[in-house]
Amino acid sequence: MERHQYAAFRSSSLPIPSERARAGTPNPPRRESNFMVTDGPITPPLSPTISEDGDGDIIVDSEPRYSGQRQDVPASINPTAHPEAHFRRPSRGVEAEQQMDIDTAEESTIPKPAARNLEDEQSHVHRGSLKLTDFEVKGTLGTGTFGRVLLVRLRSSNSQNSQNCFALKILRKSEIVRLRQVEHVNAERYILSRVQHPFIVDLFATFQDSLNIYMLLSYIPGGELFTHLRRAQRFTPDVTRFYLATIVLALKYLHSFNIIYRDLKPENLLLDSRGYLRLTDFGFAKIVDDRTWTLCGTPEYLAPEIIQSDGHGKAADWWACGILAYEMMVGYPPFFDETPYGIYEKILKGKIHWPKEMDRYSKDLINAFLHPDRSKRLGNMIGGAQDVLDHPWFRGVDWDALERREIRAPIIPHVTSVDDTRHFSRLPLPPAEEIPGLIREEQPPALQQQFDPVAYQFLEF
């Protein structure tokens, strides 16, 4: 099979590799999903042309994850680009819309009631005497646009008890407010505090200090699926089937509450010590009865209705399943380019390159997920998620046994201790002044400072 060669760009949150990958071996960069605009109807770019209406800027992701070497684009990209590129909103392109069979008929605006009500689920977040100073920092697991994730251990714990090692997600309050992410961060806490599923990360407690908010999450030691996929270059259909089936069950569970996830990608899928996936990072998750218009996610994984600002819902998650299935079996996503504009145009054109060795059932599954008409997209029709479970590609899967975690996983991460971090990047610890609540217990603010307008927006933490 002809293999694409990728530029050795890395996200701004990770170091730039010192040398390029061997020729012919894909070494795509890790993706950041740190772009967001406010809620409301918008028109993302469909082509790199500039409109004349003087619309304001929108913020998109840093660089696209993949930059395939093509004859019509340069092979390298600038690794020093600013992590938040700003693009002018252009007028809608005509050619892209004509080349893709997109559903233009007005969808029913009648909200679909959730099969289950999240408000009826009991919150499992700890609200006892636990404090930030009860934890010691063991290492840094990752960094992002306005936060980081640390590995922490409960100080008074038995070192051999895995329940006492946690991932502590830290978000800077001032940055959350500046980037207008308050609603999404509070939604992340609310959703994670009530959902419980074997393939979704657990939230145990939340805190805040003068600078940050903190989410205490289960530590999943096997690392990102992204890392294992890059090492293997691509997965067989059988390996892909195991991982995709766990994701389908997680999405089916979330969708039963009318929760859309909106950030599916290998970087947000962690392998536990038994090799099962856990869905993590619910920063873009949202309860949506009908549709929402927030532009968020990762360029390669955006559904066409998001790009066209037609409003999106659960169908966008099933589209992302198709992108992920292709990426796992091929090694790179079906739509990639040097710029978000190029990616958007290719998504709307809908032309997919199929490797010769890909079997018919795999093609059929991916095509069903990537149907441009939401009303005909697998997972979003009358049968809902059950249509996905009944697809011929999943024939033979024991869904009940899988959800009970009774099937041996294809990859068992090598882990020697409960705080083993070998499957994560080696990153430095943050300065003490950036995590004050973890270093010492802060004194209550003076009376005139108790009504801090920033802290007031995170009362649930």
How far apart CA 39 and CA 363 sit, in angstroms, is: 35
Reference 283, options 115, 12, 30, 35; nearest CA is 35
Reference 59, options 143, 142, 146; nearest CA is 146
One-letter amino acid for residue 309 of the chain? S
Question: What are 312's strand-pairing partners?
Answer: 292
How far apart CA 93 and CA 341 sit, in angstroms, is: 11
Among candidate residues 61, 263, 281, 310, the one labeled active-site is 263
Count of Cβ atoms closer than 10 Å to residue 48 Cβ: 15
How far apart CA 66 and CA 4 sit, in angstroms, is: 10
- Is 169 annotated in some ligand binding site? yes
Reference 132, options 154, 116, 147, 112; nearest CA is 154
- Where would I find the beta strands (DSSP E) of 201-276? 203-208, 212-218, 259-260, 269-271
How far apart CA 305 and CA 372 sit, in angstroms, is: 8
Q: Is residue 46 classed as helix, strand or coil in its secondary structure?
A: coil
Task: Specify whether 61 is catalytic.
Answer: no
How far apart CA 263 and CA 7 sit, in angstroms, is: 24
Question: What are 149's strand-pairing partners?
Answer: 142, 169
Place of tokens 């939230």: 203
How far apart CA 8 and CA 69 sit, in angstroms, is: 11
Residue pair 190/423 in contact (Cβ under 8 Å)? The answer is no
Residue pair 185/208 in contact (Cβ under 8 Å)? The answer is no
Taking 3-state DSSP, the helix, strand and coil percentages for the chain, each rounded to the nearest 5, stand at 30, 15, 55
What residues form the annotated binding site for ATP? 169
- Residues annotated catalytic, as ranges: 263
Give the annotated binding-site residues: 169
